[in-house]
Copies of this chain bind each other. A is one copy, B any other.
């Protein structure tokens, strides 16, 4: 063979904006998603795992703030010139799947989906181009009973993964109410409506008087710049201000305020009726406003939604980067969107659904101490005599076949491994056990073998003693035990039990 010029070594790194997940990170997410899937399944939702790759044509241009079809996604051309792309969410693929398989799927079709999605965006700190989504949607159910069901399921889901009642609130609003408010204001022109919506979004920042100014002539902002107003007459602003301040002490009060805000607008009244129905359905199932509440301040990229919208907020406080207290905030949201399937079939198919922010919810569980963010490693059997590897392998086999707790097999079997690196330096073996966060190390040298015993080191206790104890205490509280070889499993069990 001709000699090929040596290529330079490739760089060992992920592409920009991508990352790897190790050990407990994978396990914690898998366990959380498994609990969520359990709740969804109990509600009659079926799993769906659609292809990660879609045609650009099927994905469409539903990515927010993006106009060109393959902007914002990772796309390439197939050999037959078809443009393909990685999915950017789980909703666009659902629309494609439903349109493709609608004759075989039940109607309504309840499905959940969990998996990575990809966004071709500028990466930044904590901002990745591949991340997990976890969605549940009901396709083909026009009634708001479907929306109420999603909200109830979301509450059950949060409690199931470990967010206690009182630490979350699901807030529900309705896009139709806002449309009614616009009608009541006499705003019909699209551009003007968009300006009103943008102003509503600023309510949190500028308050009631600021919104009033911005809807009218305009306003001098904090930086001294003058912001042009929408140019409405003062009385036109009244419905939107009534809307923005409509949250009452009870759902009934809020609904009455909203009815007032939308006035005679039929779409607005319909929206309020729907919210009332959702509140009734949830009350019948025992979900009071301490868990799911009507709240007009929920906005959620309104362009996309056509009816009820909802958002799950975690209400417990955390410290932000600057040490200030703030609420943890949103971990899930969704709503009704009735036009996605229509792209494919020409027929309107009503749909409603929710998406959980997987990384956000995991972070919340870490905050609440529900997941510890680390994991105990395996028992490590060290190698004293390279020639007796078979003996050590027999030990780990014995440990792995033993229940951690013989009275409760559901706790699983003992996790164990033999040291497979170069055994020459024993210190390296203990360093390895330390790096693995191992609870116990087993030692059997030639002397032990001859006497039929093994040494068992309690590494957790050993570390504690090393950290806190005086030399005297150290000597008095041994963390290493010599037991008969036949008692290996029993002693390891005893130590593991003492550590938990």
The reply to whether B74 and A49 contact each other, CB–CB distance below 8 Å, is no
The reply to whether A391 and B284 contact each other, CB–CB distance below 8 Å, is yes
Residue of B13, B84, B417 near A15 (CB, 8 A) is B84
Chain B residue, CB-CB nearest to A102: B12
Contacts A391-B284, A420-B146, A435-B106 given: A412-B42 contact, CB under 8 Å?
Answer: yes
Question: Which chain B positions have C-beta within 8 A of A76?
Answer: 74-76
Max chain B Cβ within 10 angstroms of own Cβ: one of A142, A145, A414: A145
Which of A22-30, A219-227, A235-243, A297-305 sits within the interface? A22-30
The reply to whether A286 and B397 contact each other, CB–CB distance below 8 Å, is yes
Chain B residue, CB-CB nearest to A380: B44
Residue of B26, B34, B107 near A432 (CB, 8 A) is B107
Contacts A12-B345, A284-B394, A393-B281 given: A53-B118 contact, CB under 8 Å?
Answer: yes
Which residues of A (35-53) have their CB < 8 Å from a CB of B? 37-38, 41-44, 46-53
Question: Which chain B positions have C-beta within 8 A of A390?
Answer: 280-281, 283-285
Contacts A74-B84, A82-B15, A84-B15 given: A26-B48 contact, CB under 8 Å?
Answer: yes
The reply to whether A53 and B15 contact each other, CB–CB distance below 8 Å, is yes
Which residues of A (93-110) have their CB < 8 Å from a CB of B? 96-97, 99-101, 106-108, 110
Distance (whole angstroms) from the CB of A333 to the closest CB of chain B: 21
The CA of A280 and the CA of B101, in the complex, are separated in Å by 54
The reply to whether B145 and A420 contact each other, CB–CB distance below 8 Å, is yes
The reply to whether A78 and B16 contact each other, CB–CB distance below 8 Å, is yes
Q: Is A1 an interface residue (CB 8 A)?
A: yes
Residue of B18, B55, B110 near A51 (CB, 8 A) is B18
Distance (whole angstroms) from the CB of A10 to the closest CB of chain B: 4
Residue of B108, B142, B148, B397 near A393 (CB, 8 A) is B148
Q: Is A451 an interface residue (CB 8 A)?
A: no
Question: Which chain B positions have C-beta within 8 A of A391?
Answer: 284
Q: Is A60 an interface residue (CB 8 A)?
A: yes
The CA of A76 and the CA of B129, in the complex, are separated in Å by 15
The CA of A47 and the CA of B419, in the complex, are separated in Å by 18
Which residues of A (127-146) have their CB < 8 Å from a CB of B? 129-130, 138, 140-143, 145-146
The CA of A349 and the CA of B75, in the complex, are separated in Å by 35
Distance (whole angstroms) from the CB of A155 to the closest CB of chain B: 11
The reply to whether B400 and A43 contact each other, CB–CB distance below 8 Å, is yes
Distance (whole angstroms) from the CB of A188 to the closest CB of chain B: 14
Question: Which chain B positions have C-beta within 8 A of A344?
Answer: 9-12
Chain B residue, CB-CB nearest to A287: B397
Contacts A57-B11, A58-B10, A394-B285 given: A41-B415 contact, CB under 8 Å?
Answer: yes
Chain B residue, CB-CB nearest to A22: B48
Q: Is A486 an interface residue (CB 8 A)?
A: no
Chain B residue, CB-CB nearest to A28: B47
The CA of A393 and the CA of B100, in the complex, are separated in Å by 31
Number of interface residues of A (CB under 8 A): 107
The CA of A16 and the CA of B53, in the complex, are separated in Å by 10
Q: Mark A405-427, 1 if CB is under 8 A from B, else 0.
A: 00000101111111011100000
Q: Is A270 an interface residue (CB 8 A)?
A: no
Contacts A15-B78, A74-B76, A108-B420 given: A57-B26 contact, CB under 8 Å?
Answer: no
Q: Is A256 an interface residue (CB 8 A)?
A: no
Chain B residue, CB-CB nearest to A99: B12
The CA of A377 and the CA of B42, in the complex, are separated in Å by 10
Residue of B23, B96, B129, B421 near A47 (CB, 8 A) is B23
Distance (whole angstroms) from the CB of A470 to the closest CB of chain B: 32
Q: Is A202 an interface residue (CB 8 A)?
A: no
Question: Which chain B positions have C-beta within 8 A of A26?
Answer: 47-49
The reply to whether A140 and B421 contact each other, CB–CB distance below 8 Å, is yes
Question: Which chain B positions have C-beta within 8 A of A414?
Answer: 42
Contacts A10-B58, A74-B84 given: A52-B286 contact, CB under 8 Å?
Answer: no
Can you sample 13 A-B contacts with CB below 8 Å?
A: A9-B343, A10-B58, A12-B99, A14-B96, A26-B47, A30-B37, A51-B130, A52-B130, A53-B129, A141-B420, A141-B421, A145-B389, A145-B420
Point out residues on A near B: beta carbons under 8 Å: 1, 9-16, 18-23, 25-27, 30, 34, 37-38, 41-44, 46-55, 57-58, 60, 74-76, 78, 80, 82, 84, 86, 96-97, 99-101, 106-108, 110, 116, 118, 129-130, 138, 140-143, 145-146, 148-149, 152, 156, 190, 280-281, 283-286, 343-346, 377-378, 380, 389-391, 393-394, 396-397, 400, 410, 412-418, 420-422, 432, 435-436
In addition to A284-B394, A284-B397, A286-B397, 14 A-B residue pairs with Cβ atoms within 8 Å of each other are A13-B55, A19-B51, A27-B41, A27-B47, A42-B378, A43-B417, A51-B130, A52-B118, A53-B129, A74-B84, A149-B393, A281-B390, A281-B393, A284-B390
